[in-house]
Amino acid sequence: MIRHSKRIRQVLTFTILLLAIGTSIVGAETARVIISGESQKIPMYEVKETSYISFSDLVSLTGGRLDWETVGHQISFVQDTNRFLFLIDSPYFTRNQQRLNMTFPAAYREGRLFLPAETFMPFLDQVARQKIVWEKSSRTVRVHSEYFNVTDMAIAPKANGLLIEIFLTSALAYDIFVTEGNWLNISIRDGRLNAGRIQSRKDSRYMYRLKTHQSVETGTGQISMRLKRKIDKWTHKIVDDPPRIQISIPDLNFELSAEDTSPQIGPDNKIDVIVIDPGHGGTHYGAVGPKGTREKHVALDIARELAKLIRKDKQFKVIMTRDRDETIDLEERAEIANRSSCDLFISIHANSATKSHIRGWNVFFLAQALNDSARAVAQFENSAFLRDRNALNAHREVSDDASLNDPVMGILNEMIMTEFQAESHDFAMMVDREFRRNLKIPARGVDQAGFFVLNRVFAPSVLIEAGFISNKTEEKLLKNKKFHKSVAKSIYSAIKRFKAKYESQ
């Protein structure tokens, strides 16, 4: 009996302790996330002076994909080529198969994943696209790129060789060496690499692989690329305006000429030409809603509202790939954008799903799809091009070229354009933040997939799915002029933010 009473007291004591901890958690507060000067609030709480922030909400602002695996309460986070795996109530997690310890355990609360900010953020910062810092005193997560002094990379063929440029904020000491396997390595002393952006410049026409390494011990940043061109000799130098390391891998008697030195990457110094691409049109209806609403009409109506807003402000030149109900193939849309030397390309669509309850908007940029949902959207949006190309091939001899028989797969496997992937992702995140503020429908966030129309545009590009036309509620919204204006206003706010950021660099 005495033993039984002791057991009851132990259980009561433990229950009271849990309630005390639970009380401190329920008193939830907020932390700030500052991205490109814009402040957003996300949930947080404290347990014994340990600050826990909602990683679920942070991911929705900064990009990536969070997937819940019910077996064992595992949660995976994927961004670019990096994969994290967390286990609820465990301080241990894996990052790209490496087992790491963040000291305090991952926690689950109200459908969100919470992580200890002070001890986890350094692990995320090591592989993130931008510098991520947790400031405990102000309860602020800062996401910014100003920290990096090795900011970008470009590789391009020239008349007599290959030119590689590494962009810096100021002149830095560096070493260049070639290792077995035709690896070209650039080691930059005190170099802080914007790894996400640099890795996005991988171009399979010229290289097999592109890697970055940041040494915590020595403070050295290294860029390594395994080139297809055999490296017999090379020349290098630092040039100004902007500061950059130039490496030329010459053919016979190659000399780097003055006209070869101007960089051709990223948005130009002035963001002033915007191409708006209303999806589908003419004989291509796009998706059709339960009440017969056609995607081609919705896309054109939103595009017209956006064009009206931009023209009214007179900061930009606006070009529309179509301004009426006509058939424009995807190749022609890309040609219109490239002929205009546009600074942003925005393709507007409405989504569709076989399950009518699915809702929400998406913003896509060009990269290999990471999930079935993104692949399905890309497959549908590319289908018009596939039909046109197949019809064309039916009237001529069948080509042995696999890319003609399956053009989209050919593009994605070998010809995917990555020169503007970092800027496209950045603009997609800006649109995402405006949509979250202004659109009263579910947020499906930023995702990536292989869209033919984006792949052929030589500029930062996004594809926007404004809602699901297959859902009765959202079909009604997609016909509503007020909703069109909200979508247009949000996109335009993102355009102005993009202009302010990139023209100031």
Task: Spell out the residues 6+ positions from residue 11 whose beta carbon is closer than 8 angstroms to its own.
Answer: none
Q: Are residues 167 and 137 in the same domain?
A: no
Same domain, 208 and 282: no
Which of 94, 113, 144 terminates a domain? The answer is 144
Give the CATH number, domain containing residue 338: 3.40.630.40
Is residue 384 situated within a structural domain?
yes
Residues 371 and 229 in one domain: no
Rounded Cα–Cα distance for residues 494 and 12 (Å)? 54
Q: Are residues 491 and 342 in the same domain?
A: yes
Going by their DSSP bridges, the two strands 317-320 and 273-278 should be labelled as parallel
Whether residue 356 is found in the same domain as residue 285: yes
Per-residue pLDDT at 275: 93
Residues 235 and 287 both lie in one domain: no
Are 130 and 162 in a shared domain? Answer: no
Please work out, in degrees rounded to the nearest 5, the angle formed at the alpha carbon of residue 487 by the alpha carbons of 481 and 492.
120
Name the nearest CA neighbour of 164 among 146, 152, 172: 152
* Strands across the sheet containing 112-116: 107-109, 112-116, 50-54, 38-47, 29-35, 140-144, 131-135
Judge residue 255's burial from the number of C-beta atoms within 10 Å of its C-beta, 0-12 exposed, 13-18 middle, 19 or more buried.
exposed
Q: Are residues 340 and 463 in the same domain?
A: yes
Residue with tokens 């030409």: 273
Where a domain ends, among 94, 121, 144? Answer: 144
The reply to whether 262 falls in a domain is no
In the chain, the number of structural domains is 3
Looking at the fold, whether 189 and 108 belong to one and the same domain comes out as no
- Low pLDDT (below 70) residues in the chain: 1-28, 36-37, 63-64, 69-72, 80-81, 129, 145-147, 216, 251-269, 366-419, 448-455, 504-505
300 and 389 housed in the same domain: yes
Phi, psi of 15 (to 5 degrees): -65, -45
Residues 291 and 407 reside in one and the same domain: yes
**Which of 398, 385, 394 is closest to 455 using CA atoms?**
385
Compute CA distances 142 → 43, 57, 80, 121, 251, whole Å: 15, 14, 20, 11, 46
Question: Does a structural domain hold residue 263?
Answer: no
Structural domain contains residue 48? yes
What was the pLDDT predicted at 260?
A: 39
Cβ contact 207:225 at 8 Å: yes
**H or E stretch covering 449:** strand 443-449
Cα distances from 85 to residues 45, 77, 97, 128, 451, in angstroms, run 22, 6, 9, 16, 29
Write the CB contacts of 308 (distance below 8 Å, at least 6 apart in sequence). Answer: 488
| Beta-ladder partners of 174 | 188
CB of 472 closer than 8 Å to CB of 392: no
Structure-block tokens of residue 470:
């297959």
Any domain includes 266: no
- Whether residues 124 and 186 share a domain: the answer is no
Domain CATH number, residue 7: 3.30.457.10
pLDDT digits (tens, 9 = 90+) for 442-481: 888 787 655 555 567 778 888 899 999 999 999 999 999 9
Q: Tell me which residue has tokens 């509202």.
A: 305
Examine residue 224 and state whether it is found in any structural domain, yes or no.
Answer: yes
- Helix 372-394 vs helix 330-339: crossing angle, to nearest 10: 100
Inside any domain, residue 254: no
Domain that holds residue 237: 158-248
* Residue 470 to residue 289: CA distance in whole angstroms: 5
Res 285: pLDDT: 85
CATH number of the domain bearing residue 221: 2.60.40.3500
CA dist., res. 289 & res. 283, Å (int): 17
485 found inside a domain? yes
The predicted pLDDT at position 145 comes to: 55
Of the three residues 180, 214, 248, the one that is the final residue of a domain is: 248
